Homo-oligomer: A and B are copies of this chain.
Amino acid sequence: MISWKNLDTLAAYGKLNALKNHVNLQEVMSGENGAKRVAEYSAPMACDLSYNYAAKQVDDDVLAALAELAKEAQLNEKYEALYSGEVINTGEKRLVLHQLCRGQLGEAVVADGVDKRAFYLSQQEKAAAFANKVHSGEITNAKGEKFTTVVQIGIGGSDLGPRAMYLALENWAKQNGCFKLEARFISNVDPDDAASVLKGIDVSRSLFVLVSKSGTTLETLTNESFVKDALKNAGLDASRHMVAVTSETSPLAKSSDYLEAFFMDDYIGGRYSSSSCVGGVVLSLAFGPDVFARFLNGAAEEDKLARNADIRRNPDMLDALIGVYERNVQGYPATAVLPYSQALSRFPAHLQQLDMESNGKSVNRFGEPVDYVTGPVIFGEPGTNGQHSFYQLLHQGTDIVPLQFVGFRRNQAGMDVDIQGSTSQQKLCANVAAQIMAFACGKQDDNPNKSFAGGRPSSIIIGEQLTPETLGALLAHFENKVMFQGFLWNLNSFDQEGVQLGKVLAKRVLAHETDGALKAFSDLLDI
């Protein structure tokens, strides 16, 4: 029997609170004990990734308290309830089924009279078949020319995840002979966004993927019109250049404006939709359906691991627990995501949405205010770039910011250069290793300006190479982490009521139905 309780009502949370500042990171990470921690504090992830938490402020005492917390908060049971089809998104009375796009973790989930796994698979197959026809030349433009470019029109979850994934695999695909179509993305209602993308492509050979679950997203419909105008002005039939990804009940679903429509449903939230057709159509077109299938397999493997009851064999749950310890016990307000991989340049922006939109909430799942802090601010840029930017504050600022590193032993593009006895890839890896230790242990100096306090916790996910599989595992890891943290904070991580008020007021501005300060700002902006 699952019971949904606030974090601060759990006995294990009290124990955890007593362990504030329990671990002296400078001390435990020094000398041979540090090496021992690196070996021991590592949890295997899917696809030969590993989650190393040696440089976190934990020891066996803290881990024991976290294990107790996991048990008392019923994290395993709640995850099982979620993937078995219970109504976990209580506010909107919806199931939460994004994992079902990549595998069947429990019994069949039947909703609205449909086996949902079969439904998601059918849409994947439809996307695969469509992509294959585009690649083979069975589907072409009116002149019979093959498409060369795919443009995703979407915003938020319909943009950030697919865009991050496309960039993550672009060089890999080129190197591995599976680069099919170049992808571009239009998201912002700022007309300069669409204008800039359209100027850079040959619209006559472009296929546009319109993504909106409801079929009513302001930005996306506006950009669709923008694109249709451009197609018309080029003398093209827009309906031969557009497909839709939407829900079966949306106004777009049965429109003749699209070559094809691919379906998702209300059980997959936007920020969790990369595994659905929202990511599947554009990525299958860009890299071929096999690459997308491999991505899903990697994610499915990680989802399986997330069922482990032993937190030391469950990196997703462990990451979540350590995050709550850092946020609620240690009191750190932000977390940085720092992939040492240029291909992951937009992965932090995706995680920013995933995490902040899911857990940036002040009421629990019953609508009652909570008395503790919830989701932190998430930000990040790839390393080593960040080292020459905001790392100064991370090393010597007055606040401690926990860090989430990601690193791979091999690069993707297969080009490298050897200078002063090491390759660029080795330099990249040497830097991330060095940073972990600099943050953890610091260094005293007679000049206080050159002193580093240390005691700044980090973890690292290490893998051989960023591939479709490891990208899938990485994405699933963070999705599952956020889910477990939502359980711990007793939040509904799957709605986003906080975005509504702005939409309502914006409509009022456009209808000129405002007064007071809103009218004054609208006047200043010439609306």
How far is it, in angstroms, between the C-alpha of A171 and the C-alpha of B392 when the chains are bound?
A: 33
Q: How far is the CB of A426 from chain B (nearest CB, A)?
A: 5
Give which listed residue, B352, B442, B509, contacts A501 with CB less than 8 A: B442
Instruction: Specify which chain B residues have a CB less than 8 angstroms from the CB of A377 in the assembled complex.
Output: 333-334, 377, 379, 390, 393, 399, 401
Is A391 engaged at the interface, CB distance under 8 Å to the other chain?
Answer: yes
Instruction: Specify which chain B residues have a CB less than 8 angstroms from the CB of A379 in the assembled complex.
Output: 352, 377, 379
Report whether B520 and A424 are in contact in the complex, using a CB–CB cutoff of 8 Å. no
* Binary CB contact string for chain A from 499 to 527 against chain B (1 if under 8 A, 0 otherwise): 11111111111100001111111101111
How far is it, in angstroms, between the C-alpha of A440 and the C-alpha of B518 when the chains are bound?
A: 11
Report whether B392 and A373 are in contact in the complex, using a CB–CB cutoff of 8 Å. no
Instruction: Specify which chain B residues have a CB less than 8 angstroms from the CB of A221 in the assembled complex.
Output: 419
Residue of B nearest to A332 (CB): B333
Report whether B356 and A517 are in contact in the complex, using a CB–CB cutoff of 8 Å. no
Report whether B190 and A391 are in contact in the complex, using a CB–CB cutoff of 8 Å. no
Give which listed residue, B193, B381, B392, B437, contacts A342 with CB less than 8 A: B193
Give which listed residue, B384, B391, B506, contacts A427 with CB less than 8 A: B506
How far is it, in angstroms, between the C-alpha of A409 and the C-alpha of B30 when the chains are bound?
A: 56
Residue of B nearest to A424 (CB): B191
Report whether B396 and A362 are in contact in the complex, using a CB–CB cutoff of 8 Å. yes
Report whether A384 and B155 are in contact in the complex, using a CB–CB cutoff of 8 Å. yes
Instruction: Specify which chain B residues have a CB less than 8 angstroms from the CB of A432 in the assembled complex.
Output: 525
Report whether A396 and B497 are in contact in the complex, using a CB–CB cutoff of 8 Å. yes
Instruction: Specify which chain B residues have a CB less than 8 angstroms from the CB of A274 in the assembled complex.
Output: none
Q: How far is the CB of A357 from chain B (nearest CB, A)?
A: 4
By secondary structure, the A interface counts as: helix
The number of times this chain is found in the oligomer is 2
Report whether B170 and A411 are in contact in the complex, using a CB–CB cutoff of 8 Å. no
Residue of B nearest to A91 (CB): B449
Binds B, one of A8-16, A123-131, A364-372: A364-372
Give which listed residue, B342, B399, B519, contacts A188 with CB less than 8 A: B342
Q: State whether A412 and B357 are in contact (beta carbons under 8 Å apart), knowing that A431-B502, A462-B524, A502-B431 are contacts in the complex.
A: no
Q: Which of A465-521 contact B (CB under 8 A)?
A: 492, 495-510, 515-521
Give which listed residue, B189, B219, B415, B496, contacts A191 with CB less than 8 A: B415
Q: State whether A367 and B448 are in contact (beta carbons under 8 Å apart), knowing that A160-B389, A191-B417, A462-B524 are contacts in the complex.
A: yes
Give which listed residue, B30, B363, B430, B508, contacts A449 with CB less than 8 A: B363
* Binary CB contact string for chain A from 384 to 427 against chain B (1 if under 8 A, 0 otherwise): 11011111111111110100000101011111110111111111
How far is it, in angstroms, between the C-alpha of A440 and the C-alpha of B516 when the chains are bound?
A: 13
Is A206 engaged at the interface, CB distance under 8 Å to the other chain?
Answer: no
How far is it, in angstroms, between the C-alpha of A325 and the C-alpha of B151 when the chains are bound?
A: 45
Report whether A342 and B190 are in contact in the complex, using a CB–CB cutoff of 8 Å. yes
Is A450 engaged at the interface, CB distance under 8 Å to the other chain?
Answer: yes
Q: State whether A516 and B35 are in contact (beta carbons under 8 Å apart), knowing that A171-B196, A424-B226, A433-B527 are contacts in the complex.
A: yes
Residue of B nearest to A373 (CB): B398
Q: Which of A131-188 contact B (CB under 8 A)?
A: 155-157, 159-160, 170-171, 174, 187-188
Is A192 engaged at the interface, CB distance under 8 Å to the other chain?
Answer: yes
Is A375 engaged at the interface, CB distance under 8 Å to the other chain?
Answer: yes
How far is it, in angstroms, between the C-alpha of A174 and the C-alpha of B427 when the chains are bound?
A: 38
Report whether B368 and A448 are in contact in the complex, using a CB–CB cutoff of 8 Å. yes
Report whether B518 and A434 are in contact in the complex, using a CB–CB cutoff of 8 Å. yes
Q: Which of A452-466 contact B (CB under 8 A)?
A: 452-453, 460, 462
Is A280 engaged at the interface, CB distance under 8 Å to the other chain?
Answer: no
Report whether A357 and B517 are in contact in the complex, using a CB–CB cutoff of 8 Å. no
Nearest 5 pairs of A and B residues by beta carbon:
A360-B393, A156-B388, A34-B517, A434-B505, A38-B520
Sample (20) of A-B pairs whose CB atoms are under 8 Å apart: A35-B516, A157-B388, A160-B389, A189-B424, A190-B428, A192-B411, A194-B424, A229-B417, A352-B381, A361-B397, A375-B393, A377-B377, A377-B379, A379-B379, A392-B498, A427-B506, A429-B526, A430-B522, A433-B509, A437-B521
